[in-house]
Every structure is written in C-alpha cells, then in structure tokens.
C-alpha cells in the first residue's frame, strides 16, 4: 500500500487485535479468505437491482456471486427455496431491520420490541433510532426477579397493544428464546413475528441454539458476530406464512422486503461484502464450525461459572449462549461498569460496559459489563483459558 499513514494505522490495529483478549460479544475474527473477498475488485462494480434485473450492464459475474450467496445461506440454515426467500443486500443490521418495518408496518404503526435497557437493540423501536421515530415502540422487558422473559406478561402486552410486528432476538440476553411461545403470542395478537438472530446466528448454524425458522415470518441477522463473516446483514422472509393466509399481502413478504431494501433504502449492493458473506457461509457449513460453535458456548459457560464462583453476579444466573452480563456494581459493593471496562482495557481485556435490567445507574456508567466468547474461541481458546481469563478479570476488578 502506498498510503503510508493508513498502512501504519491498519498495521497498528492488526497488532492491537493480536495483543488483546477480545471479549466484545458482537465481534469475531474472520478468515484470510473472507478478507480477500472483501478487498477484491468486486468493490468496483455497481449492480443496483437484483440478479437478472439490474439497472447497469456487466453483471454476469456478480449475479452468480449473489445467487451463490443465497444458495449457501438457505442450505446452511436448512431452508427450502420454495418456502423461504433471502435478501443478502443489507449493508448492516440497522438497515436490515429498518427495511423489514418499511415493508410490513405502516408508518405510525406499532413495533413491539424489547427495551434497550433490558437487552433489546436500538432498531427494535427505540425512540432515538429511526425505527422509533417513524413507528411507535411497544416495549417489553424481562421479569425483575428472574431476569428472564415472562411470556405471559409479553402476551398480555401484545393482546392489549395489538402491534403490527413483534420482535425477538436481543443484544444482551444470554438465554435461549422460546420461539414457539412467541409464535403463539404473534398469532393471538395478529402480529408478524420477526426474529433478529444477529447475535446467535452462528450458534444456530452450529446447531447449539434452536433455529427460529420454524416459527418466524421474518428473520434478520448480521453476519459478523458468531457467524464469523464480514460486516453485513441478511433478511429471510417466509414465502407463505401459514398464519397470514387470508391477510392482505400475506404472500408478498419477500417482494415487499426486496423493494424496501432496493429501491427503498439502499442503492447498489456491496458485492465485495456479499462475496465475503458467501465465503463465510461455506466456512460455517462444516463440521469444524459446529465444533467451534459448541466450544463458544462451553467457554461462555465456564467464564460465567468462574466469575460467579469468584463473587460476581451473573444476570439471569448464567448463560446458554456466547454472551453473559455481569453485574459488577453489586448494589454499591463493587465498581461501576465504566470503571470496570476502563480498568480491563488498560490490562488488555476488551469488553463493553452494559446496562443490566432495572439498572439504577446511567447508561454511560451502568452497573454491568457484557462479555462474549466468540472471538477468543476463534483464536483457539478452551475452557482452561477461560478459567484464567475469569481469574484475571476478578483480580483487575478488585484492585
């Protein structure tokens, strides 16, 4: 690279990534092949539209790439092409979620999503996000005592508020979601069911987390968390959702979603990204990836158990996934989330500060930190390494 300034900064970031212990729950390390596809000449091509329906010429090859990416993802998640459609053009998770609402919820309508403070995502209708400005969020949360989802309470909210769409799948909830219960709630309240599986998509692919596809009408996901691909996203939509038969436009979900992505929200797709996603999907469709996903969950459980043994409170009492939320404030007996995250970073352990449900502190200095095992598992760490990491975290936080 001739640009020495950028070259040096990339090198510095590469070294930083190698040096630290990365426990950011939403990050991972991609393969060299994924990086190669991202840095390829595909970035030069404009291809507004969809395969065989583009607004520019010269798309013979990129059409094949986009089609291959779609084929691979349907195969990975065991979906039949006559039942599910997938759009692989979303640039990232936020536009993917926005596109679903644009397609399915009239402006001013209701999105029922978990509140950010309990582990939801900004794009599940939070008021500072576009999704909370064009639509109204009907928030739900976890039970104060158990810190788990209370499906009866969620059902009551849905029946009372009659949202157009119910969103499940979170950024800071470490437990397995009962998608069947959400389906029942969506059915009795007449809502679409959307699962945002961004965090656990790799765990679904690795068969260590239940697949949401049996129950959802729409599934969105980013591709760069546990799925270990480049930064991008996808939207899956059911071609003929059984509960929607007879509802206006029921058979039109994929068409509406495709239109919402292009021309609704985006212009030309990033084909280098789509090719890199295809590479990651092939990598995920292997026995080695299944082994990896299993190890991710084992490692997170060890980290959670060890930190609990050392006296830290784990929100909801543990984890079923790659992530855990640790209450470091401990009602004033511990330290704030910001200080915890700063101290850990100084010692080379990267985490993010995070609110815990019913937090009494501010979002900029909350009571918790969120930890994830996906990135370090990619680097080959096993249970014994996570025991050591827990001990190091404990020492640093107690200083």
Q: Give catalytic status of residue 321 as yes or no.
A: no
Closest C-alpha to 273, from 222, 218, 204: 222
Q: Give catalytic status of residue 48 as yes or no.
A: yes
Binding residues among 320-359 for ligand DSN as defined by CB under 6 A = none
Contacts of 326 (CB under 8 A, 6+ apart): 307, 312, 313, 314, 315, 368, 369, 370, 371
- 120 labelled binding-site residue: yes
- Is residue 26 involved in binding ligand DSN (CB under 6 A)? yes
CB of 41 vs ligand DSN, minimal distance in Å:
29
Q: Give catalytic status of residue 222 as yes or no.
A: yes
- 116 labelled binding-site residue: yes
Contacts of 385 (CB under 8 A, 6+ apart): 299, 376
> Tokens 């704030």 identify what position?
336
Q: Give catalytic status of residue 225 as yes or no.
A: yes
Separation of alpha carbons 136 and 138, rounded Å: 6
Give the x/- contact pattern for ligand DSN in 169-198, rule: CB under 6 A. --x---------------------------
Distances (CA, A) of 223 to 29, 102, 145: 12, 21, 33
Rounded to 10 degrees, the C-alpha dihedral 58/85/220/147 comes to -170
Distances (CA, A) of 361 to 141, 350, 372: 17, 21, 22
Point out which residues pair with 110 in neighbouring strands.
Answer: 136
Q: Name the closest residue to ligand DSN (Cβ).
A: 26
Q: Among the options 66, 72, 175, 196, which is catalytic? A: 196
Q: Among the options 225, 228, 238, 370, which is catalytic? A: 225
CB of 139 vs ligand DSN, minimal distance in Å:
18
The two three-digit tokens of residue 69, written as one number: 């990416």
Q: Among the options 27, 29, 45, 48, which is catalytic? A: 48
Binding residues among 65-94 for ligand DSN as defined by CB under 6 A = 93
Q: Which is nearer to ligand DSN, 124 or 183 (CB)?
A: 124
CB of 26 vs ligand DSN, minimal distance in Å:
3
Q: Give catalytic status of residue 153 as yes or no.
A: no
Separation of alpha carbons 251 and 204, rounded Å: 26
CB of 326 vs ligand DSN, minimal distance in Å:
15
Binding residues among 115-154 for ligand DSN as defined by CB under 6 A = 121
Active site residues: 46, 48, 196, 222, 225, 231
Binding interface with ligand DSN (CB under 6 A): 26, 93, 121, 171
Extract the annotated binding site for (6S)-5,6,7,8-tetrahydrofolate: 116, 120-122
């Amino acid at each position: 690279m001739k640009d020495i300034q950028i070259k040096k900064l990339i090198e510095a970031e590469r070294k930083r990534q190698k040096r630290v212990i990365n426990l950011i729950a939403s990050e991972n390390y991609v393969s060299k092949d994924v990086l190669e596809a991202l840095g390829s000449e595909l970035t030069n091509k404009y291809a507004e539209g969809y395969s065989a329906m583009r607004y520019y010429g010269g798309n013979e090859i990129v059409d094949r790439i986009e089609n291959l990416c779609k084929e691979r993802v349907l195969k990975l998640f065991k979906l039949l092409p006559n039942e599910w459609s997938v759009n692989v053009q979303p640039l990232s998770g936020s536009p993917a979620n926005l596109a679903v609402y644009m397609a399915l919820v009239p402006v001013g309508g209701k999105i029922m999503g978990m509140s950010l403070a309990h582990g939801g995502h900004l794009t599940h209708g939070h008021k500072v996000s576009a999704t909370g400005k064009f639509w109204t969020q009907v928030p739900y949360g976890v039970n104060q005592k158990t810190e788990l989802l209370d499906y009866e309470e969620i059902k009551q909210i849905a029946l009372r508020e009659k949202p157009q769409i119910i969103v499940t799948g979170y950024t800071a909830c470490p437990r397995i979601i009962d998608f069947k219960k959400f389906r029942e709630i969506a059915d009795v309240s007449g809502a679409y069911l959307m699962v945002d599986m961004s965090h656990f998509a790799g765990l679904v692919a690795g068969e260590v987390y239940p697949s949401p596809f049996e129950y959802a009408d729409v599934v969105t996901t980013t591709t760069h968390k546990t799925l270990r691909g480049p930064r991008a996203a996808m939207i899956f939509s059911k071609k003929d959702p059984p509960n929607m038969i007879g509802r206006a436009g029921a058979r039109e979900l994929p068409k509406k979603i495709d239109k919402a992505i292009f021309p609704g929200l985006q212009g030309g797709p990033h084909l280098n990204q789509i090719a890199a996603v295809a590479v990651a999907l092939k990598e995920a469709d292997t026995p080695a990836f299944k082994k990896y996903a299993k190890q991710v969950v084992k490692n997170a459980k060890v980290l959670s158990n060890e930190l609990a043994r050392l006296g830290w409170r784990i929100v909801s009492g543990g984890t079923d996934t790659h992530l855990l939320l640790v209450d470091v404030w401990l009602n004033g007996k511990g330290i704030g989330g910001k200080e915890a995250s700063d101290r850990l970073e100084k010692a080379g352990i990267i985490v993010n500060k995070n609110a815990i449900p019913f937090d009494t502190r501010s979002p900029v200095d909350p009571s918790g930190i969120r930890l994830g095992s996906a990135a370090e598992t990619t680097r080959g760490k096993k249970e014994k390494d996570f025991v050591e990491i827990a001990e190091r975290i404990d020492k640093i936080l107690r200083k």
